Structure 1
Amino acid sequence: MTCYSVLAVTPTKEDWIPGYLAPALEIMTKHGGKYIARTTDHEQVEGDAQPAALRIIIEWPSKAAALAFVNDPDYAPHLKARTEGSTSSHFIIEGKDDLA
């Protein structure tokens, strides 16, 4: 089942970013992921303010693929750099409608 990663990222320092982008893309692609959106152009229209500099949506072929990316040993140092150099949240969402 198709699955999506939805991230909100606000860098608190920027030194990690140049070394993150290419390796993260390569590892994500290895696990079947592709960017749907990676943008600073977003607007919150409901709920309590949840500011973020960057919103990211990644499509995965399955939840297993998304988790394989997150847990890939090659990604570990890049994940550490991102989480130490930003305020981030990451949700994995299955592409299904439980209310239908």
Structure 2
Amino acid sequence: MTCYSVLAVTPTTDDWVPDYIGPANELVARHGGRYLARTASHERLEGEGEDAALRIVIEWPSKEAAMAFMNDPAYLPHLKARTAGSHSHHFLIEGKDDLT
């Protein structure tokens, strides 16, 4: 089943960003993922809460593919750098409709 990573990321430092983008792009693709959105152009339409600097949406062919990416030893140093240098929230959402 298709899954989507939905991230809200606000960098607290930009030091990690240049070393993150290339490897993350490669590893996302290697695990079958595809960026649908990676942007600072977003707005809140409902509710309250923290406003993130960036919103990222990645489409995965399966939950297993998303988890393989997150647990890939090649990604772990980049994940640590991102989480140390930002406020990040990452949700994995199954591409299904439970309300039908």
TM-score range, shorter chain: over 0.9
Report the alpha carbon displacement of residue 48 of structure 1 after superposing the two structures with TM: 1.2
What TM-score results when the alignment is normalised by the length of structure 2?
0.98
Matched to 1:92, the amino acid is: L
Report the alpha carbon displacement of residue 11 of structure 1 after superposing the two structures with TM: 0.2
- Check if 1:18 corresponds to 2:18: yes
- Check if 1:38 corresponds to 2:38: yes
Deviation >2 Å, runs of 4+ = none
Report the alpha carbon displacement of residue 7 of structure 1 after superposing the two structures with TM: 0.1
> What SS does structure 2 have at the residue aligned with 1:20?
helix
Mapping 1:74-89, distance limit 5 Å: 74-89=74-89
Task: List per-residue Cα deviations over 1:47-92 (Å, max 9, x = no partner).
Answer: 1133000000000000000011011000000000000000000000
Mapping 1:1-100, distance limit 5 Å: 1-100=1-100
Matched to 1:97, the amino acid is: D
What TM-score results when the alignment is normalised by the length of structure 1?
0.98
> What SS does structure 2 have at the residue aligned with 1:14?
coil
> What SS does structure 2 have at the residue aligned with 1:43?
coil
In 1, Cα distance between equivalents of 2:30 and 2:49: 35
Provide the aligned length of Structure 1 versus Structure 2.
100
Matched to 2:28, the amino acid is: M
RMSD: 0.5
> What SS does structure 1 have at the residue aligned with 2:22?
helix
Structure 2 gap segments, 5+ residues each: none
Structure 1 gap segments, 5+ residues each: none
State the percentage of identical aligned residues: 68
Task: List per-residue Cα deviations over 1:27-48 (Å, max 9, x = no partner).
Answer: 1100000000000000011111
In 2, Cα distance between equivalents of 1:93 and 1:52: 19
